[in-house]
A and B are shown apart, each in its own frame.
Chain A
Amino acid sequence: MTELLIRNAYVIDPINDIRGEIMDIPIREGKIVEEVSDRAPVIDAEGYLTLPGGIDSHSHVCGTKVNFGRYMSPEDMRAGRTARKGRMHVTSGYSVPTTFGNSYRYSAMGYTMVLEGAMAPLEARHTHEEFTATPHQDMMANTLFDGNWSIMEAVLDKDVKRAAAVVAWILNAVKGFAIKLTNPGGTEAWGWGEDLAGIHDEVPHFGVTPAEIIGTMIRANELLHLPHSVHLHCNNLGVPGNHRTTLETIALAPDLNPKRQSLYLTHVQFHSYGGTTWRDIDSRSEEVTKAVNAKPQVVMDMGQIMFGRTTTMTADGPMEFKLYMLHHNKWSNHDVELETGSGIIPVYYTRKSLVNCIMWAIGLELALLTKNPWQCILATDNPNGAPFVKYPEIIALLMSKKFREQEGALLDPRTEHHVPLFAIDRELDWYEIAVMTRAAQAKALGIQDLGRGHLAPGALADVAIYPMKTDQLDPATQFQQVIAGFARTRYTIKRGRVVARDGEVVVDGANSTIWVRPKVPPEYDLSRDPEFVKKFEQYYTVRMRNYPVQDTYLPRGICIETEADL
């Protein structure tokens, strides 16, 4: 019986409404319990800030798209090298590190769960293989449905139940966690050499619009009772004037689930641009956050960019092509069957670029103008906006107006005419940061019932102890200490085991992969549906039986079973 007692912890646990109390946290068999025996080993937290383990609800860390980023940027693999040390493997890479690099760096920051933002169904096996080599975080994978032919046909027939059946079969086959839509319809149009300008344009050859796809998928998602909502990357990413599309999309979100949002919008920073071209682009974060504040059924993440080198990777191929036309750097567009696409290019966000300065400001504005921190999640869309190792810096920017002004002085002086950031006085507090980095994620992903993201008895013992005492630290002025504190935990505890101490990983990990199996009635089991099977034979390069990922690829899989209302 393994036990552990954390004493004198200054706990903030938003899901249980604990806003800073000195507490003891007893742990037995990887779970938080009421009390432990007096033989249990003790960790003295010394009154340090103690939070549930961090959760990243949108990150690209595993899968072929990420791996292709590694192939494409050998120069990136020469950066960020760390040598073998104790239990730590050799790692390398800065914006697209090795899987162990990702895992160790997340552990050092106190993160214990990561959601891979986009998994192409055809390439699921590789994603799961990389999950098993990401040892210290529990992983989940959003599965891409944005250009799925069967889905689009169901949408055209207005057959929500068939769409739900397709989702059920694919999620079950590829062991995915939730529905991800990336530029729905747009990537498919791109496959035919065309592009869509808004969510009411028709996808060529299919006669459906992105708005119809999104609406149908939200209802299919609720019919299947999936834990997470539809995870949407809106249309028109990175296009000046795209805030209109974003507002239209937010208006689509119905009120279907009392427990959580019905639409999760990811990297909204890239979707909050006004103007018509790169020359007159400005921030429309006020309009977007106003819509979000009025709509509790929507949760978004920031998609903050930070200055420096990184690699962008997304299933949104047309958008990556537009970026390539700006930079003329190396690029890749990748076609993954009839379901989605992908694109990858390396970028450098620079303070010399007015557009980049405006983008930097918009992300922060989204977080500061959203009234309810549960509706705005902290993320960079790693590595698209910035590698996740920049999270501590973003936290410091949100907590300190002085830091924002200090950074603002380095920007292009025209920036302030395009953004409202420097007029915002709000400084987030420790509680709001705790919400935005773990509790809101757990709620939005629907995994708090699995004991994730909180510290009540019965929860999984994922704890992060940061070397900061909130009563001795003023984040508004001492932002450098805040950055250093959030960058390296004193202890990161995963499932009751200390995995990292002072930023160094001390044990080999054993993560699990969480996936969802919606149970559908036999008449909606598509593996026997002749039309669905025929699609694979006629159009796919692989057979239907090549799709399912076997259980051996998930040695420690955790399956969430749901009962579908079909």
Chain B
Amino acid sequence: MRVTLETKPRKKPKIPIEAENIIPQNFLRGMDITVYEGNKERRLEDLFYIAVEGPAVSPDQVEVILKGDTGVIKRVGEYMNAGRIVVEGDIGMHCGNFMSAGEILIRGNAESWLGREMRGGTIRCLGNTGHYCAAGYRGEKRGMRGGKVEVMGNAGDYAAEYLSGGEVIIRGSTGDMPGIEMRGGTLVIGGTCTRPGANMTGGTCIVLGNAARIIPTFAAAGIRELTWEDRSYAVQVYNGDMANRGGKGTLLVRRE
């Protein structure tokens, strides 16, 4: 089943839409779904032109396509456990919150907290993403625990904060402090970043561009060869963060 949701013109297009109900498993039960526009509860057809093609018997056969002015839609794919969501443009904050399986493809940019505390599945963003990509929300002690997030462009600050499992790949650059408080999993940064891996206790953070201001509580542990996606790099190994008791994280930074 393919569900296409195209946004209708709105009087106040800047008011965000809270759409935690836009997940494939909900569409199996029909289109009787509500979302919030600001603080008003709306039916899905009030805000979207809906087109449905084909049948589905299980949620993994459902594909949801979002089109139009989608940059103000938040929380798409929250608690998603199967199926596929394709966003033809930008997407708002908290896309893929807590998702456990399935796939989200974003052709534009994603706002902050993409894949917040996600448990499994795949998110692919072809543009840039905001701050706290694949992180935990404020106060949480664990961020993403499983699955894969891939960002083709750049990410903001605090990417993969509290990462505990799974894989985060940012092909562009990140802002300040990617991989802060990491406990496990893998973070790969293709471009540049500053202060990676601060306070990490586990996991692996790989910087294939240039890492500025590596914090002094990391212990340099030699140079080694690293093969990633069929290319090999010479990387400087750091262990840390030594400010933590049992800081067993690994930070690998490509040598010039």
Taking Cβ atoms with an 8 Å cutoff, the residues of A that contact B are: 72-78, 328-330
Decide yes or no whether B245 CB sits under 8 A from chain A.
Answer: yes
Assess whether B141 is in contact with A74, with CB atoms less than 8 Å apart: no
Chain A residues near B137 (CB-CB < 8 A)? 74-75, 78
Chain A, Cβ-Cβ closest to B246? A328
Decide yes or no whether B222 CB sits under 8 A from chain A.
Answer: no
Chain B residues near A330 (CB-CB < 8 A)? 141
Assembled-state Cα–Cα distance A73/B140 (Å): 8
Chain A, Cβ-Cβ closest to B244? A328
Q: Would you give the shortest CB distance from A392 to chain B, in whole angstroms? A: 28
Assess whether A328 is in contact with B245, with CB atoms less than 8 Å apart: yes
Chain B, Cβ-Cβ closest to A71? B139
Assess whether A329 is in contact with B141, with CB atoms less than 8 Å apart: yes
Assembled-state Cα–Cα distance A73/B139 (Å): 6
Assembled-state Cα–Cα distance A75/B162 (Å): 14
Assess whether B139 is in contact with A75, with CB atoms less than 8 Å apart: yes
Decide yes or no whether B10 CB sits under 8 A from chain A.
Answer: no
16 A-B pairs (CB sep. < 8 Å):
A72-B139, A73-B139, A74-B137, A74-B138, A74-B139, A75-B137, A75-B138, A75-B139, A75-B140, A76-B139, A77-B139, A78-B137, A78-B139, A328-B245, A329-B141, A330-B141
Within 8 A of A (CB), among B97-155: 137-141
Assembled-state Cα–Cα distance A75/B137 (Å): 8
Q: Would you give the shortest CB distance from B161 to chain A, in whole angstroms? A: 14
Assembled-state Cα–Cα distance A328/B138 (Å): 18
Q: Would you give the shortest CB distance from A252 to chain B, in whole angstroms? A: 40
A78-B137, A78-B139 are known contacts; what are 14 more A-B pairs with Cβ within 8 Å? Answer: A72-B139, A73-B139, A74-B137, A74-B138, A74-B139, A75-B137, A75-B138, A75-B139, A75-B140, A76-B139, A77-B139, A328-B245, A329-B141, A330-B141
Assembled-state Cα–Cα distance A78/B140 (Å): 11
Q: Would you give the shortest CB distance from B207 to chain A, in whole angstroms? A: 27
Report the interface size for chain B: residues with CB under 8 A from the other chain. 6
Chain B residues near A77 (CB-CB < 8 A)? 139
Q: Would you give the shortest CB distance from B87 to chain A, in whole angstroms? A: 26
Chain A residues near B245 (CB-CB < 8 A)? 328
Assembled-state Cα–Cα distance A175/B140 (Å): 38
Q: Would you give the shortest CB distance from B135 to chain A, in whole angstroms? A: 13
Assembled-state Cα–Cα distance A330/B139 (Å): 9
Assembled-state Cα–Cα distance A328/B245 (Å): 9
Contact with A along B212-256 (1 / 0, CB 8 A): 000000000000000000000000000000000100000000000
Q: Would you give the shortest CB distance from A73 to chain B, in whole angstroms? A: 6
Assembled-state Cα–Cα distance A330/B141 (Å): 9
Q: Would you give the shortest CB distance from A480 to chain B, in whole angstroms? A: 30
Chain A residues near B138 (CB-CB < 8 A)? 74-75
Q: Would you give the shortest CB distance from A419 to chain B, in whole angstroms? A: 31
Chain B, Cβ-Cβ closest to A72? B139
Q: Would you give the shortest CB distance from A387 to chain B, in whole angstroms? A: 17
Assembled-state Cα–Cα distance A74/B140 (Å): 8
Assembled-state Cα–Cα distance A330/B245 (Å): 14
Q: Would you give the shortest CB distance from B141 to chain A, in whole angstroms? A: 7
Assembled-state Cα–Cα distance A264/B215 (Å): 51
Assembled-state Cα–Cα distance A76/B138 (Å): 10
**Which of B138, B139, B140, B141 lies at the interface centre, i.e. has the most chain A CB atoms within 10 A of its CB?**
B139
Assembled-state Cα–Cα distance A329/B140 (Å): 11
Chain A, Cβ-Cβ closest to B136? A75
The 6 A-B pairs at the shortest CB distance, nearest first, are namely A74-B139, A75-B139, A74-B138, A75-B140, A73-B139, A328-B245
Chain A residues near B140 (CB-CB < 8 A)? 75
Chain B residues near A76 (CB-CB < 8 A)? 139
Q: Would you give the shortest CB distance from B145 to chain A, in whole angstroms? A: 15
Assembled-state Cα–Cα distance A76/B137 (Å): 12
Chain B residues near A75 (CB-CB < 8 A)? 137-140
Chain A residues near B139 (CB-CB < 8 A)? 72-78
Chain B residues near A74 (CB-CB < 8 A)? 137-139
Q: Would you give the shortest CB distance from A313 to chain B, in whole angstroms? A: 16
Chain A residues near B141 (CB-CB < 8 A)? 329-330
Assembled-state Cα–Cα distance A328/B183 (Å): 14
Chain B residues near A73 (CB-CB < 8 A)? 139
Assembled-state Cα–Cα distance A329/B245 (Å): 12
Q: Would you give the shortest CB distance from B140 to chain A, in whole angstroms? A: 5
Contact with A along B194-213 (1 / 0, CB 8 A): 00000000000000000000
Assembled-state Cα–Cα distance A535/B215 (Å): 44
Assembled-state Cα–Cα distance A523/B83 (Å): 81
Chain A, Cβ-Cβ closest to B138? A74
Assembled-state Cα–Cα distance A72/B140 (Å): 11
Assembled-state Cα–Cα distance A328/B139 (Å): 15
Chain B, Cβ-Cβ closest to A328? B245
Chain B residues near A72 (CB-CB < 8 A)? 139
Assembled-state Cα–Cα distance A215/B246 (Å): 46
Chain B, Cβ-Cβ closest to A76? B139
Assembled-state Cα–Cα distance A72/B139 (Å): 7
Chain A, Cβ-Cβ closest to B140? A75
Assembled-state Cα–Cα distance A78/B137 (Å): 10
Q: Would you give the shortest CB distance from B202 to chain A, in whole angstroms? A: 13
Assembled-state Cα–Cα distance A90/B137 (Å): 21
Assembled-state Cα–Cα distance A78/B138 (Å): 10
Assembled-state Cα–Cα distance A330/B140 (Å): 11
Assembled-state Cα–Cα distance A75/B141 (Å): 9
Q: Would you give the shortest CB distance from A451 to chain B, in whole angstroms? A: 43
Q: Would you give the shortest CB distance from A301 to chain B, in whole angstroms? A: 30
Chain A, Cβ-Cβ closest to B245? A328
Assembled-state Cα–Cα distance A77/B140 (Å): 11
Assembled-state Cα–Cα distance A559/B19 (Å): 53
Q: Would you give the shortest CB distance from B30 to chain A, in whole angstroms? A: 26
Q: Would you give the shortest CB distance from B175 to chain A, in whole angstroms? A: 22
Assembled-state Cα–Cα distance A74/B138 (Å): 6
Assembled-state Cα–Cα distance A74/B141 (Å): 11
Q: Would you give the shortest CB distance from A515 to chain B, in whole angstroms? A: 35
Q: Would you give the shortest CB distance from A495 to chain B, in whole angstroms? A: 35
Assembled-state Cα–Cα distance A127/B137 (Å): 29
Q: Would you give the shortest CB distance from A79 to chain B, in whole angstroms? A: 11
Chain A, Cβ-Cβ closest to B201? A328
Assembled-state Cα–Cα distance A74/B136 (Å): 12
Chain B residues near A78 (CB-CB < 8 A)? 137, 139
Q: Would you give the shortest CB distance from A244 to chain B, in whole angstroms? A: 32
Q: Would you give the shortest CB distance from B113 to chain A, in whole angstroms? A: 14
Q: Would you give the shortest CB distance from B36 to chain A, in whole angstroms? A: 13
Q: Would you give the shortest CB distance from B240 to chain A, in whole angstroms? A: 16
Assembled-state Cα–Cα distance A487/B137 (Å): 32
Assembled-state Cα–Cα distance A240/B143 (Å): 35
Chain B residues near A328 (CB-CB < 8 A)? 245
Q: Would you give the shortest CB distance from A74 to chain B, in whole angstroms? A: 4
Chain B, Cβ-Cβ closest to A330? B141
Assembled-state Cα–Cα distance A329/B139 (Å): 11
Assembled-state Cα–Cα distance A328/B141 (Å): 11
Assembled-state Cα–Cα distance A319/B139 (Å): 23
Q: Would you give the shortest CB distance from A3 to chain B, in whole angstroms? A: 41
Q: Would you give the shortest CB distance from B111 to chain A, in whole angstroms? A: 19
